[in-house]
Structure 1
C-alpha cells in the first residue's frame, strides 16, 4: 500500500500541473526555469515514459490522438497521470473497503475512462469545428472579395478565427508552405475533423482551380448550405437529447447500484466477487455492458 501511495505522490506534480498555452519561460522571472525537486522528478519520469513509448510499436495514448482532442501534452504525461490516478483509486478503495480486488477492478477502469474522455473531447472539438465552419467560409469569401489570394485568406482565418478552426487552418498553411498541395491539405483536415461540410470546400477549391470562375460566390453558396445544415443538425440534437440522457442514466445505473450495495453490505456482493462463477458473470456482464453502450450510442447519435 505504501508503494502505491509513493507512486501517486511521485506523479502528483504532473497531475496538479495546469495545462497552459503560455511557455514556461514567460511564466517565470527573467525566463529562468524554477522547479521543485518533486517537479523535477516528475519531469524525469515523463521523459523516460516518452522515450519508452517512442521505442515501442504500441502506445495507449498516441500523440495524434491527443492533438486531435486539443490537448497539448505528450503521451508520457497522460500515461503518468493515468497511472497516478489508478494507483490512488486502488489505494483509497482498498483502505475504505478492505477489498484489494474491488479496488483493482475500479483502478483498471481508470485507463478506460481516460480513453472515453479523449473520445468525448475529440467529438466536442469536431462538433465545434463544424459549427464554426459556416462563419469560416464567409470569412474566406470576404477576404477573397477584398483582394486576398486564397492562401492569404486561409492565413487570415488562421490568425483571426477561434479555436479549433484557427489551429486547423494554421496546420493547413504550414503544410502548404513545406510543399504539400493546398487541396490535399484541406482534404486531410476534413478527414481529421470528420467534416463532410469541409470536404465541400475542398471540392469547390479543386473545381475552381481546374475550371476557373468566381470562387467567393461559390463559397457564399456553400456557406448558405452549411447554415441550413447546422440549423437542421441543432433541431435533430434537440430531439435526441432525451434519448442521450436516458442512455447516460442506463450506463451509470449498474455501476452506481453495485457500488451502493457493496458500500452498505459487502457480504451481499461477496458471492459475486469472491467466487470464480461470480467473476465469470462479472466478465460476461462487462462485455454485454460495453455492447449495450455502443448500441445505445449508435441509436442516439443521428447522422445525416
Structure 2
C-alpha cells in the first residue's frame, strides 16, 4: 500500500463516489413519488390554472410574506439566484430551517473538507474536487428527505380518501372531512390536510386551498385529487363516488409500481454487481499484489486506460438504466 500514490487513492475514491451516486439516482426505480420531469409538468399546469382563475401565484405570495419576516441580511441571502427553488425544496422536505443555511452548511463542509484533502495530498485539484462534492451533500440530503416525504404522503393518501368518504356518507361537509383526516391520521397526510383545512377555515376559498396543496405536494396523485374536487365543485356530481374510485385507482397504481420494482430487481442488482466488480478487483490487487497498481499508474498508457475504463463504466450505467426501463 505504501507504493500506491495518494493521487491514485483520491481518484479512486472519487470514481467510487461518482459511480455510487449515478447508480443510486438513476438505477433505482421508485415505488412511490414522481420523477422530476413529471413534477415540472405539474408545476406548469398549476401556474396555468392560477392564471386562468386570475389568482396570483400562491408560492410567490407566501415567499413575499416570508421575506418580510427576515432581517435585511437574511432577506438579501434568500433573494440570491436559486434560493427560491431551494427554499421550496426545504419546505417540501418538512424542515423548518431556511434555505441560505443549507448553502452556508455546504460551503462550510466544502472549505473544511477541501483544505483537509489538500493538506493530506498536497494536490490542489484534489482538494477542489473534494470541496465540490461536499458542497452538494446538504442539498442532496434535503432532496432525499423531500422524496421520502412525498412517498409517505402518497402512501397514506388512499386511507385518507377512505376517511373522507366515510365522513361524507355520515353527512359532514367537505371542509370538515379535511379536519377529520388531520385529526384521525398521523404523519405527512395529517399535516398537509390540516394546513389545507386551516387555509379554508381562515377565509381562503376551496380552489385556492387545493391549489396550495398541489403546490406543496406536486405529484400525479395529488393532481388527480385536486382536479376531481375542483371539477365537482364546478359541475356537481357525487363526490363520494369520485373519491372512492380515486382511492381504488391510486391503490392500483401503487400495486403496478411495486410490480415494476419486483420485475426490475434482477436488472438493478446486476447493475450494482457489474459496476462494483472493477473497484473490488482494484482493492483486491492493492491488498494481494501491491506492485501491480503502481505499474499501471507510472505509465502514460495506464492513465489513458484508466480514463477509458471509467468513461466506459459511466456509459454502461446509463445503458443498463435504459435497458431496465425498456424491460419494465
* 8 Å CA contact 1:261, 1:269 repeated in 2: no
Alignment correspondent of 1:194: 218
Match of 2:261 among 237, 242, 267: 237
Higher relative contact order (CA 8 A, sep 6+): 2
Corresponding position of 2:24 = none
Paired with 1:60 and 1:209, the residues of 2 have a C-alpha distance of 32
Match of 1:220 among 244, 256, 259: 244
Instruction: Give the Å deviation of 1:67.
Output: 1.0
Shift of 1:154: 0.8
* Distance (Å, rounded) in 2 between the aligned partners of 1:211 and 1:118: 40
| Greater CA drift, 223-232 or 54-63 | 54-63
If the length of structure 1 is used for normalisation, what is the TM-score? Answer: 0.63
Distance 1:168 1:221, change over 3 A: same
Aligned mates of 2:220, 2:131 — CA distance in 1 = 38
Change (3 A) 1:196 1:56: closer
Indicate if the aligned counterparts of 2:93 and 2:143 stay in contact, CA closer than 8 A.
yes
Q: Which residue of 2 aligns with 1:171?
A: 195
For the pair 1:88 / 2:88, whether they are aligned, the reply is: no
Contact 2:83 2:100 in 1 (8 A): no
Distance across 2 between alignment mates of 1:175 and 1:123: 24
Q: Which moved more, 1:238-247 or 1:228-237?
A: 238-247
Deviations 1:70-129 (A, max 9, x none): 222111321222122222322332333332321221111123344433333222222222
**Secondary structure of 2:94's match?**
coil
How has the CA–CA distance of structure 1 residues 112 and 262 changed in structure 2, closer, same or farther, with 3 Å as cutoff? Answer: farther
- Equivalent in the alignment of 1:73: 97
Unaligned runs of 5+ in 2: 1-70
CA RMSD of aligned residues (A): 4.2
- 1:183 to partner: Cα distance: 3.4
For residues 240-259 of structure 1, the aligned pairs below 5 Å read 240-247=264-271
- The 3-state SS of whatever aligns with 2:199 is helix
For residue 126 of structure 2, the aligned residue among 98, 102, 112 is 102
